[in-house]
Amino acid sequence: MLKEFRDFIARGNVIDLAVAVVIGAAFGRIVTSLVEGVIMPPIGLLLGNVDFANLFIDLSGTHPATLADAQIKGLPVITYGVFLNDVLSFLIIAFVVFLVIKQLNKRKKVEAAPLTKACPHCLSTIPLAATRCSGCCGELQSA
């Protein structure tokens, strides 16, 4: 059983997946930092000096001044500003993944050079380097 586990871990797919998870986690932190520190402050400034991370709806009826105050008191709140930041982070990550997949699909579509051609006399398939057709023995022009 230990040998099977070792063989499973040593497979390329598992190692590739582990590397992808680590890089994805690091990329997620970078995007979160980008959204919270670079993108949302100018948007908040344009919307009248709003800090999206501090937007919340108080469910307790005590009307705390800030989100931090509500969290310290343990009041029930809906933190929709944090949700907006997370949605924007998700959209950025999804867009980057879309771009990566699109590039990978472009590479897959590039076809390899053909290895065969059709005989002009009998239309059978022959290798590109052939000088005579194996089907009709017709002479072929060299390329």
Note the pLDDT tens digit of each residue in 32-87.
888 888 888 888 888 888 888 888 999 988 989 888 899 999 999 999 988 988 88
Q: Cβ neighbours of residue 82 under 8 Å, at least 6 residues apart?
A: 52, 53
Question: Do residues 30 and 77 share a domain?
Answer: yes
Question: Do residues 118 and 55 share a domain?
Answer: no
CATH code for the domain in which residue 53 is found: 1.10.1200.120
In this structure, what token pair is assigned to residue 108? Answer: 């897959």
**The pLDDT of residue 109:** 66
Question: Do residues 95 and 34 share a domain?
Answer: yes
Question: Do residues 121 and 54 share a domain?
Answer: no
| Host domain of residue 78 | 2-110
Q: How many angstroms separate the CA atoms of 96 and 117, rounded?
A: 41
Q: How many angstroms separate the CA atoms of 10 and 13, rounded?
A: 9
- Record the pTM: 0.56
Q: Is the pLDDT assigned to residue 14 strictly greater than 80?
A: no
Question: 84-96: per-residue pLDDT in tens?
Answer: 888 888 888 888 8
Q: Is the pLDDT assigned to residue 10 strictly greater than 80?
A: no
Question: 84-127: per-residue pLDDT in tens?
Answer: 888 888 888 888 888 888 887 777 666 667 788 888 888 888 88
In this structure, what token pair is assigned to residue 5? Answer: 């586990």
Question: Do residues 20 and 55 share a domain?
Answer: yes
Q: How many domains does the chain have?
A: 2
